A and B are shown apart, each in its own frame.
Chain A
């Protein structure tokens, strides 16, 4: 193998690997993330008033499959947290975020 062919093949292999990672990440990869159901996220929590029935408990978060591109966007707003049990939960529901590290 000539001194020029081997580096070219090595570079092309690296380039193909990078393109494969990008294609897989954008087109195929999905990760399970817990999110609040839409109606639960939309209704603001009512303050508890003495004598009144307590507000309904917050709805359980539902697991959905999130594309990696969306997770990249979530990273830009600090919008996903990892729970102690290893599950990922989306914390960002729009508006100013408290979780953004900057």
Chain B
């Protein structure tokens, strides 16, 4: 039997290993869309940001086959497993969540905010206003501020714009009271990938015969998913910590379907 919270420890190391892939200038492949939320303007970035590509292509009025293909393949294969195990910004949020402050529950309905951001800020506004607009998504993105604008400030002394700093400051403040607020409320990539949870080849299963309905999986879920009923829902970031419970009622599998 696996020791409890085994995945929680392993996950940090896997996230760190993936960080070494995304932040690797030796692996410089800007023609490839990465599957994670990671600013491609970062000097160490190896891949293009899929959300940045969607926003730019929308501004150019060109359909982004490469970005859509990448997101479809990832979402249909593993769903939000990328969010839980490979996203560099997810790692930053998970590490900041270790600060011992009281964490509040995020209402499930706020998860729809991710689709509002995707449709309005990533697709619609760039389409109408172009890349030069102050409302262009990459000009507001907190990941771009953290990974690109702030390093540039160190280099040149030029401060990021006020809206950028305000958005990043609000997000950092939210990190003290919520777990992964960006991923669960605003991340457009997380919104797309978690949509794949329902149909992906890799999925979580609920073994009713083993479940004693104690509710421990729901209490232990770091992201407040209503388990086990909302398994494979768009709220799940697939950290897989629920599969680590001793009862073994929840487990991962590579077979789609119920």
B136 touches A22 (CB 8 A): no
Of chain A, the residue at the smallest CB distance from B55 is: A75
CA of A26 to CA of B68, assembled, Å? 12
- Interface residue A49 (Cβ < 8 Å from any Cβ of B): no
CA of A72 to CA of B40, assembled, Å? 10
Q: Which of B52, B59, B67, B77 contacts A82 (CB 8 A)?
A: B59
Of chain B, the residue at the smallest CB distance from A8 is: B256
- Interface residue B112 (Cβ < 8 Å from any Cβ of A): no
A20 touches B69 (CB 8 A): yes
State the interface size on chain A (CB cutoff 8 A).
Answer: 42
The residues in A between 5 and 41 inclusive whose CB is less than 8 angstroms from any CB of B are 5-8, 10-11, 14-15, 17-26, 29, 31
When distances are taken between beta carbons in the complex, the residues of chain B under 8 Å from A99 are 131
When distances are taken between beta carbons in the complex, the residues of chain B under 8 Å from A81 are 130-132
Q: Which of B69, B131, B138, B148 contacts A25 (CB 8 A)?
A: B69
When distances are taken between beta carbons in the complex, the residues of chain A under 8 Å from B65 are 21-22, 24-25, 29, 68
Beyond A21-B72, A101-B136, A102-B148, whether A76 also contacts B62 by CB under 8 A is: no
- Interface residue B41 (Cβ < 8 Å from any Cβ of A): yes
Map CB proximity to A onto B141-156 as digits: 1 under 8 Å, 0 otherwise.
1001100110010000
Total residue contacts A-B, CB cutoff 8 A = 134
- Interface residue B76 (Cβ < 8 Å from any Cβ of A): yes
Q: Which of A6, A15, A75, A80 contacts B257 (CB 8 A)?
A: A6
Binds A, one of B8-16, B31-39, B83-91: B31-39
B138 touches A10 (CB 8 A): no
B144 touches A102 (CB 8 A): yes
A15 touches B66 (CB 8 A): no
- Interface residue A48 (Cβ < 8 Å from any Cβ of B): no
Beyond A7-B199, A11-B200, whether A18 also contacts B73 by CB under 8 A is: yes
- Interface residue A100 (Cβ < 8 Å from any Cβ of B): yes
B62 touches A75 (CB 8 A): no
When distances are taken between beta carbons in the complex, the residues of chain A under 8 Å from B131 are 78, 81-82, 99, 101
Beyond A15-B76, A18-B70, A102-B39, whether A73 also contacts B31 by CB under 8 A is: yes
Beyond A72-B31, A76-B48, A80-B56, whether A14 also contacts B199 by CB under 8 A is: yes
CA of A25 to CA of B77, assembled, Å? 20
When distances are taken between beta carbons in the complex, the residues of chain A under 8 Å from B62 are 31, 71, 88
A80 touches B138 (CB 8 A): no
